[in-house]
């Protein structure tokens, strides 16, 4: 359902000619922001069917990354506005692989088992994964964007880390940043199957790039605008430096799986969903440590483990 009344309640006029639409999320930060600026609608929420797309005057839709709370409403938004959808080339490939294939939860579960995750946690993933996927209505065959592309006067930046194909959109010192940079939340950086091999290395490089770019303001997917982006980027680099040390301290001469190490680093009291995020985050840190010569990886198709070097 949508109406002009509801859109006035949900679109907020910010500075820089930007309007912000905040949509509810059932979990996590409980909300996600979409932005409308210079004719471009950035991101589309989870796709729960409650967004006021009929009233949105968008010439085009651009997606920062394929996570469900950003891409899930893309098809509905495109149908309601008749606007073309733009999405990153790598990001769309991953979007199709995750949301468009029947056996992705099983493939992901098998991969978690190789990293020592117990069956009850991976069985929950299979149930949740299939239940969730039916809600995610991404737009089929979008126009693909890459580093150096331009869309609606916005310069396209590839900012990998939180997602391999994460894009930012820059115009006049304004960065629409998705989940690359958040003000209070530390963006999740996890390793997942069939993905780039060193997402934390990617993320640290994207943060360094953000310091150099020094955008005047970042409009993020969650939380308030960030007007000190270089400082926030430095904080996040420091956060991960400490987390890398925590992971290095959990290594021993005896092989340990990422699951076992995640029990040390993230504690034992997590729900199955939280545990999967924790193991993915542990793996992104372990793989960075391997590349820095501070950890060694062993294993095969059955079980992967890590030791001190």
DSSP per position, 263-304? HHHH-S---HHHHHHHHHHHHHHHHHHHHTTS-EEEE-SS-E
Binding to Zn ion by residue 33, rule CB under 5 A?
A: no
Minimum Å gap between C-beta 207 and Zn ion is 16
Minimum Å gap between C-beta 67 and Zn ion is 3
Minimum Å gap between C-beta 155 and Zn ion is 21
Residues 141-180 that bind Zn ion (CB under 5 A): 179
Which of 163, 31, 159, 44 lies closest to 95, judged by CA?
163
Minimum Å gap between C-beta 176 and Zn ion is 14
Candidates 20, 33, 60, 67; binder of Zn ion (CB under 5 A) is 67
In the bound state with Zn ion, the residue whose beta carbon lies nearer, of 43 and 198, is 43
In the bound state with Zn ion, the residue whose beta carbon lies nearer, of 67 and 171, is 67
Minimum Å gap between C-beta 65 and Zn ion is 6
Q: Which two tokens stand for residue 92?
A: 């769309």
Minimum Å gap between C-beta 70 and Zn ion is 6
In the bound state with Zn ion, the residue whose beta carbon lies nearer, of 18 and 163, is 163
In the bound state with Zn ion, the residue whose beta carbon lies nearer, of 67 and 243, is 67
Task: Report the 10 Å Cβ neighbour count for 302.
Answer: 7
In the bound state with Zn ion, the residue whose beta carbon lies nearer, of 210 and 257, is 210
Kindly determine how many residues on this chain lie close enough to bind Zn ion according to the rule CB under 5 A: 2
Q: Which helix (H) or strand (E) holds 178?
A: strand 174-178
In the bound state with Zn ion, the residue whose beta carbon lies nearer, of 67 and 137, is 67
Options 63-71, 115-123, 242-250, 256-264: segment touching Zn ion (CB under 5 A):
63-71
In the bound state with Zn ion, the residue whose beta carbon lies nearer, of 91 and 179, is 179
Q: Which helix (H) or strand (E) holds 21?
A: strand 18-24
Residues 179-238 that bind Zn ion (CB under 5 A): 179
Q: Which two tokens stand for residue 226?
A: 């960030």
- CA 10, CA 2: separation in Å to the nearest integer? 11
CA distances to 161, 227, 247, 265, 301 from 257, rounded to whole Å, are: 23, 40, 12, 13, 13
If DSSP codes are grouped into helix, strand and coil, which group holds residue 16? coil
Using CB positions, name the residue nearest to Zn ion: 67
User: Residue 274, Cα to own-chain centre: how many angstroms?
Assistant: 15
Options 12-20, 67-75, 211-219, 274-282: segment touching Zn ion (CB under 5 A):
67-75
Minimum Å gap between C-beta 161 and Zn ion is 10
Options 13-21, 61-69, 144-152, 153-161: segment touching Zn ion (CB under 5 A):
61-69
- CA 234, CA 12: separation in Å to the nearest integer? 30
Residues composing the chain: 309
- CA 32, CA 222: separation in Å to the nearest integer? 5
Minimum Å gap between C-beta 95 and Zn ion is 12
In the bound state with Zn ion, the residue whose beta carbon lies nearer, of 41 and 63, is 63
Cβ atoms 178, 70 nearer than 8 A: yes
Which residue ranges make up the site for Zn ion (CB under 5 A)?
67, 179
């Amino acid at each position: 359902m949508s109406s002009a009344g509801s859109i006035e309640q949900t679109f907020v006029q910010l500075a820089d000619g930007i309007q912000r639409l905040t949509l509810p999320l059932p979990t996590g930060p409980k909300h996600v922001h979409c932005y409308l600026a210079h004719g471009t609608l950035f991101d589309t929420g989870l796709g729960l069917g409650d967004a006021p797309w009929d009233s949105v005057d968008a010439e085009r839709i651009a997606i920062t990354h394929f996570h469900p709370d950003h891409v899930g409403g893309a098809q509905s938004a495109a149908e309601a506005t008749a606007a073309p959808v733009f999405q990153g080339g790598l990001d769309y490939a991953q979007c199709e692989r995750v949301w468009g294939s029947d056996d992705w939860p099983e493939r992901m579960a098998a991969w978690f088992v190789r990293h020592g995750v117990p069956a009850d946690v991976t069985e929950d993933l299979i149930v949740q994964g299939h239940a969730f996927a039916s809600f995610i209505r991404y737009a089929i065959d979008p126009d693909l964007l890459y580093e150096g592309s331009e869309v609606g006067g916005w310069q396209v930046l590839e900012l990998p880390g939180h997602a391999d194909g994460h894009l930012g959109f820059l115009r006049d010192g304004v960065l629409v940043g998705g989940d690359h940079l958040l003000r209070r939340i530390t963006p999740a950086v996890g390793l997942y199957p069939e993905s780039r091999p060193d997402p934390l290395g990617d993320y640290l490089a994207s943060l360094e790039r953000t310091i150099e770019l020094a955008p005047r303001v970042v409009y993020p997917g969650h939380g308030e605008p960030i007007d000190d982006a270089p400082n926030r980027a430095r904080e996040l680099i420091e956060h991960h430096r400490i987390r890398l040390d925590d992971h290095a301290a959990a290594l021993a001469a005896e092989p340990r799986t990422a699951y076992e190490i995640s029990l040390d680093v993230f504690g034992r009291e997590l729900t199955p969903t939280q545990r999967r995020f924790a193991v993915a985050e542990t793996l992104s840190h372990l793989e960075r440590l391997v590349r820095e010569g501070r950890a060694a990886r062993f294993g095969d198709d059955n079980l992967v483990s890590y030791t001190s070097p």
